[in-house]
Structure 1
Amino acid sequence: MYLLSFFLQVPDFSSESLTVKKFVLVHGEGFGAWCWYKIVASLDESGLSPITVDLTGSGFNMTDTNTVSTLEDYSKPLIEYLENLPEEDKVILVGHSTGGASISYALERFPEKISKAIFVCATMVSNGQRPFDVFSEELGSAEKFMKESQFLIYGNGKDEPPTGFMFEKQHMKGLYFNQSPNRDIALAMMSMRPVPLGPMMEKVTLTAERYGKGRRFYVQTLDDLALSPDVQEKLVRENSPEGVYKIKGSDHSPFFSKPQSLHKILLEIAQIP
């Protein structure tokens, strides 16, 4: 595993030298494909092919969040995209926050179609771990959260288990956007949707034979209040990606707070042989 400095220079970048130019950008909890708009523009300007997906019940995918109960359901748009890729094509997957669980699931399903997987302040879970467990230091245990959280949504009625959650706006601003521009915060406040709880609480099955053969990279955000730098460091220690990159001055939404730094890192990783 190697460590890259905070500020990366990508001199004389040419997309012509790359064998894999497709970046599939996977959003995290509550977000949608819309959150990547700055990264889509910069990758496109660099001659690359950014693709975004709305996971089930997110962004413009109008599925009722309360009906999304498994990681398989939640990740279906990503899986369908990969299933329909031409046999000779490969992609670079980029997952933000809990989108890390979806790209891990995809890496287990389609290791042959994924050139590299990039976890951006993301839930890079171990085999048998729940995405929620990664946030337990901030949110408390899953059991406590399910019993006591004021943010839970009971889509099937109060007598049934909760189906989702959504932070209130001021709480969300403090957790996710403490370094982001006001215009991007305004976009997020209008666009964020409830998070399906089932996929967050599901233990992910990952095997050494498939997931373990994938090339994984991690991008740490050093002013992150949703997933602290210490927790991100722990994820890196426990899961040993091929490379680790750090963005100083970034909150939990580097596509808003530090888009140029994130763009440079994506280009740097794309060029690794």
Structure 2
Amino acid sequence: MEEDGRRQKHIILVHGACHGAWSWYKVATLLRCAGHQVTVPDLAASGIDERRLHEVPTFADYSQPLLDIMAALPPGERVILVGHSLGGLSVALAMESFPERIAAAVFLAAFMPAPASRPSHILDEFIQQAPMSYWMDTQFSSSRSQEKSPTSMLFGPQFMSLKLYQLCSTEDLTLGMTLVRVGSLFHEDLSSAPPFSKGRYGSVDVVYIICCQDLGITKDFQHWMIKNNPVKEVKVIEEADHMAMLSRPKELCKYLSEVIDTYA
């Protein structure tokens, strides 16, 4: 399909923990208006996916909707993958599984693992640096009755308004508080997973977008991840909180369009 004389590019937007495809509504609209094909999946037990968390015991199960999309791509098609927050680990799993189908991967204020370490290492470092007071009114629960069920997590209103959405409109905060669902970091499962490989995960060009006003995954921690796993390119949004797709959609879309033009 041709748009303005150019082949239409395919970009896949992956949401973070407790969120869903709905969180990308502004950026998805802007990218589609620019002529790109945009796919925005709900990961398992997220958004409008009907499963509950106890039906999704592993991180691979949680990420399966993204992996299914990647597996179904037409032969020869290469996409731009964008992962936000915990969605970075889902993107990393797709990079390991389908490196030949990815033109570039974008980590937006996202957890980005290094090939030499287990996928859980990035979460270990994050949890170690974040005191329990950091989580504020976020609710955690471990189900003893269901042995394989991951520890659940539900962001509280104070945590969302002060750590994630502090630069977003009141309307977008209300939308977020209405639509968030119980999720998980899948820390237990990721602790037993092997490292992503340099030959597959490490072969994909990576762009990291730093959100400087992020109080969820702080700017300092984002810089640490980049130092731990150097990337092809770093872009910076100075006035973005954790939910840059809602607080700075036009600036984010501009950067994503630059990635598409450079790598796709």
Q: TM-score, normalization: structure 2?
A: 0.88
Indicate how the Cα distance of structure 1 residues 199 and 46 shifts in structure 2: closer, same or farther if over 3 A, else same. Answer: farther
* Alignment RMSD (CA, Å): 2.6
Q: 1:47 aligns with which of 35, 40, 47?
A: 35
Q: 1:98 aligns with which of 78, 86, 94?
A: 86
Match of 2:126 among 135, 138, 149: 135
Q: Does 1:240 align with 2:226?
A: no
Provide runs of 4+ in structure 1 moved above 4 Å: 14-20, 156-162
Q: Do 2:17 and 2:185's aligned partners in 1 also have CA atoms closer than 8 Å?
A: no
Residue 212 of structure 1 is aligned with which of 190, 202, 208?
202
Q: 1:133 to 1:17 in 2, by over 3 A?
A: farther
Once residues 111 and 17 of structure 1 are traced to their aligned partners in structure 2, the CA distance between those partners, rounded to angstroms, is 28
For residue 168 of structure 2, the aligned residue among 172, 180, 186 is 180
CA distance in 2: counterparts of 1:85 and 1:160, whole angstroms: 31
> For the structure 1 residues 102 and 43, does the alpha-carbon distance in structure 2 shift closer, same or farther, using more than 3 Å as the test?
same
Identity of aligned residues (%): 30
Task: Answer yes or no: is the 8 Å Cα contact 2:210–2:237 preserved in 1.
Answer: yes
- 1:49-72 Cα offsets, whole Å, 9 max, x none, are 111000111001111112322121
TM-score, normalised to structure 1, is 0.86
Measured after TM superposition, the shift of residue 167 of structure 1 is 2.5
1:228 aligns to 2:223 (yes or no):
no
- The partner residue of 2:103 within 115, 127, 139 is 115
The answer to whether the 8 A contact 1:94-1:103 is kept is yes
CA distance in 1, matches of 2:189, 2:146: 19
Deviates more, 1:202-211 or 1:260-269: 202-211
1:258 to 2:248 alignment: yes
Q: Deviations over 1:164-202 (max 9, x none)?
A: 111221122211101111111010000001112425751
Report 1:65-76 matches (<5 A).
65-76=53-64
Residue matched to 2:45: 57
Q: Deviations over 1:235-267 (max 9, x none)?
A: 111111100000011100001110011000000
**Cα separation, 2, equivalents of 1:229 and 1:20:** 33
CA apart distance, 1:138 = 5.2
- Number of the residue aligned with 1:4: none
Structure 1 contact 15–21 (Cα < 8 Å) conserved: no
CA distance in 1, matches of 2:16, 2:144: 24
User: Residues 162, 139 of structure 1: CA spacing in aligned structure 2 closer, same or farther, 3 A cutoff?
Assistant: farther
2:239 matched residue in structure 1: 249
Q: Structure 1: give runs of 5+ residues left out of the alignment.
A: 1-13
Q: 1:15 to 1:116 in 2, by over 3 A?
A: farther
1:161 Cα deviation from its structure 2 partner: 7.8
Distance 2:153 2:71 in 1: 30
In structure 1, C-alpha distance between the alignment counterparts of 2:20 and 2:148, rounded to whole Å:
27
Cross-structure match for 2:139? 151
Distance 1:37 1:61 in 2: 17
| Conserved 8 A contact 1:74-1:199 | no
Q: Match of 1:58, SS?
A: coil
User: Structure 2: where are the runs of 5+ without partners?
Assistant: none
Alignment-derived partner of residue 5 in structure 1: none
Paired with 2:176 and 2:244, the residues of 1 have a C-alpha distance of: 13
1:37 maps to what in 2? Answer: 25
Bigger mean CA deviation after superposition, 198-207 or 236-245:
198-207
Q: How many residues align?
A: 255
In the alignment, which residue of structure 2 is the partner of 1:83?
A: 71
1:270 equivalent in alignment to 2:260? yes
